[in-house]
Amino acid sequence: MTDRAETLARLLELIAPYNVRGVELSETTRFAEDLELDSLTVMDLVANIEDAWDINLPLNLLPELETVGQVADAVVRLAAR
Amino acid sequence: MTDLLAKFDRFAAEHQTLLDAGLLDPFGVVMEEVLSPTRAVIGGRETILVGTYNYMGMTFEPSVLAAAKAAIDRFGAGSTGSRVLNGTFAAHVGVEAALREFYAMDHAIVFSTGYQANLGMVSTLAGKGDVIVLDADSHASIYDGCKLGHAEVVRFRHNDAADLDRRLGRLPKEAGRLVVLEGVYSMLGDVAPLKELVAVAKAHGAMVLVDEAHAMGFFGPHGRGVYEAQGLEGEVDFVVGTFSKSVGTVGGFAVSNHPKFEILRLVTNPYRFTASLPPAVVAAAEASIRCLMRAADKRERLWAATRALHAGLREAGFRLATETAESAIIAVLMPDQEATVAMWDALLRHGIYVNMSRPPATPAGVFLLRCSLSSEHSREDVATIVDRFIEARASLAAAAAA
């Protein structure tokens, strides 16, 4: 599951339950501005992403990951490691 | 010019809404006079304190006050310096000796606050290339310690040993690991399954730091904390604690048997780049810690008060965060912010002070009225606290019906 398109598709599934505002989800969806996720929701989502790919997504990376696409890139990179 | 404070407008507006509703400010309580570990004058009224973490009731202990006064006469009001320059007095050495004795450990290092103890220990122990694995519900001082250092930071789900195991298993073999845990989590008052968590950490070759801030004095045969109560002496590499709860003054510390521990004094910024504690404070802390070595009676009273409050509030129909009185923190679960603030306000008007807690300090979406007990709360106090909770709730129901 390291293929970029597959990763993105799975990622969108994981994010869907947190999309309480019902915005259209895509590569460019921003976690803070579009989804308005608070830090505690982010914590939950990150743990789910980590378990889906059996990776650790260090907290240090989170400030750089503003969009869904950026997270997909990070997951692909970390899963290949 | 961009107004740098504008980013806080949302919080300011929220706070203002609360004040405009005529409610007392939960973040602006002033104690005009403190009468005892369990009583203060707030808004001109004698109030029972049920949210001060003054677990062992040491703030007015005669031997503690005498030691503080004597230290002022002997050393003056302050040290005006860092521990590694001119800020180490006999009083600082004395409190570190008392800590070594209390914990039966080889080394003790005292910081100016508990916050700085975590900041210093977490940021310094784990460096570049190392990984910190911490419980998701960790205190802000632990998170801030992570931010101050250069290690990678990974969270595991609260108190979940299997989750910790998975995350440690994903780390590269060569990385140094520090697992950071707390004995008692201060928001819900729940106790960590340290036995399981520490076993997992050790199986993965991690060093373990446990923050026992909310357990000192009344967990374990010597009051060392949850790690002692669960039989983990010799398993935990570093124990962090505070003087601002059971000890009854202010300051933070770490104790350890690690043979290289003392070098931390020279390399830990939150230790060496701040002024040391005032002599009166460390002298009070030493006297208090020595009292806590023989405080079986206080400990029994604290647990009795805690169990009685848990039972009383539950019987009165309040929802509590833990099934049993796991620690000396009893957290009352509230449905939302509005109800929490209203009940907090009603309680204070009924002469009861508790802590109001809300996200992000609390775990996901939880609103709390947090009670913490003291050994000095009498049986009658606990009964009064429960009665006032019931009366406060009734006053809100009456106001809503009117």
Tens of pLDDT, residue by residue over B71-121, are 999 999 999 999 999 999 999 999 999 999 999 999 999 999 999 999 999
> Across chain B, what does the average pLDDT equal?
96
Number of Cβ pairs closer than 8 Å across A and B? 40
CB atoms A58 and B152 under 8 Å: yes
* Confidence at A3, pLDDT banded by 50, 70, 90: confident
Amino acid identity of residue B152, one-letter, is E
Contact residues of B toward A, CB < 8 A = 131, 136, 146, 152-155, 157, 163, 166-167, 170-171, 359-360, 363-365
Residues of chain B with CATH 3.90.1150.10: 12-56+296-401
Active-site annotation holds for B141: no
Chain B residues within an 8 Å CB radius of A60? 152-153
Residues of chain B with CATH 3.40.640.10: 62-292
pTM, two decimal places: 0.95
Q: How many angstroms separate the CA atoms of B79 and B18, rounded?
A: 41
Q: How many angstroms separate the CA atoms of B277 and B237, rounded?
A: 25
**Tokens found for residue B270:** 């939150």
End-to-end distance of chain B based on CA atoms, in angstroms? 49
Does the pLDDT of residue A1 top 50, yes or no?
A: no
Chain B residues within an 8 Å CB radius of A33? none
Instruction: Quote the minimal CA–CA distance from B160 to chain A in Å.
Output: 12
Q: How many angstroms separate the CA atoms of B236 and B209, rounded?
A: 6
Reference B344, options B28, B14, B10; nearest CA is B28
Q: Which residue has the tokens 């169990």?
A: B307
Contact residues of A toward B, CB < 8 A = 38-41, 43-44, 46-47, 50-51, 54-56, 58-60
Question: Quick one: fold of A4-80?
Answer: 1.10.1200
Among B146, B148, B150, B154, which would you mutate to test the A interface (most chain A Cβ atoms within 10 Å of its Cβ)? Answer: B154
- The number of beta carbons lying within 10 Å of the beta carbon of residue B18 is 18
CB atoms B360 and A40 under 8 Å: yes
Average pLDDT over residues B391-400: 94
Of A43, A55, A56, the CB nearest to B136: A43
Q: Which position among B186, B357, B372, B374 bears the catalytic label?
A: B186
B49 phi, psi to nearest 5 deg: -85, 120
CB atoms B170 and A41 under 8 Å: no
Q: List, in order, residues 6 or more apart from B42 with CB less than 8 Å away.
A: B29, B30, B31, B32, B348, B353
**Tokens found for residue A66:** 């503003």
Q: How many angstroms separate the CA atoms of B330 and B310, rounded?
A: 6
Domain spans of chain A? 4-80
CB atoms A47 and B166 under 8 Å: no
Q: What percent of chain B stands above pLDDT 90?
A: 93
Chain B residues within an 8 Å CB radius of A41? 364
Give the tens place of pLDDT for each residue, A58-79: 999 998 999 999 999 999 999 9
Q: How many angstroms separate the CA atoms of A70 and B7, rounded?
A: 25
Active-site annotation holds for B214: yes
Residue B386's alpha-carbon distances to B3, B188, B250, B347, in angstroms, are 47, 19, 30, 11
Instruction: Quote the minimal CA–CA distance from A49 to chain B in Å.
Output: 12
**Tokens found for residue B256:** 């350890």
Chain B residues within an 8 Å CB radius of A46? 155
Range B12-56+296-401 classified under CATH 3.90.1150.10: yes
Average pLDDT over residues B17-37: 93
Give the tens place of pLDDT for each residue, B33-60: 999 999 999 999 999 999 999 999 999 9
Helix, strand, coil share of chain B (percent; to 5): 40, 20, 40
Active-site annotation holds for B288: no
Reference B125, options B271, B21, B286; nearest CA is B271
Reference B249, options B73, B64, B51; nearest CA is B64
Of B136, B154, B364, the CB nearest to A58: B154
Give the tens place of pLDDT for each residue, A19-45: 988 899 999 999 988 988 887 788 889
Q: List, in order, residues 6 or more apart from A2 with CB less than 8 Å away.
A: A76, A79, A80
B273 burial (CB, 10 Å; 0-12 / 13-18 / 19+) is exposed
Per the CB < 8 A criterion, the answer to whether B245 and B223 are in contact is no
- Give the pLDDT confidence score for residue A2 in this predicted structure: 53
Q: Which position among B139, B245, B310, B377 bears the catalytic label?
A: B245
Tell me which H or E stretch contains B310.
helix B296-315
Q: Which residue has the tokens 């775990």?
A: B363
Question: Quick one: fold of B62-292?
Answer: Aspartate Aminotransferase; domain 2 (3.40.640)
* Confidence at B142, pLDDT banded by 50, 70, 90: very high
Q: List, in order, residues 6 or more apart from B37 with CB less than 8 Å away.
A: B49, B52, B54, B57, B58, B59, B60, B248, B374, B376
Reference B59, options B258, B367, B287; nearest CA is B287
Give the tens place of pLDDT for each residue, B274-304: 999 999 999 999 999 999 999 999 999 999 9
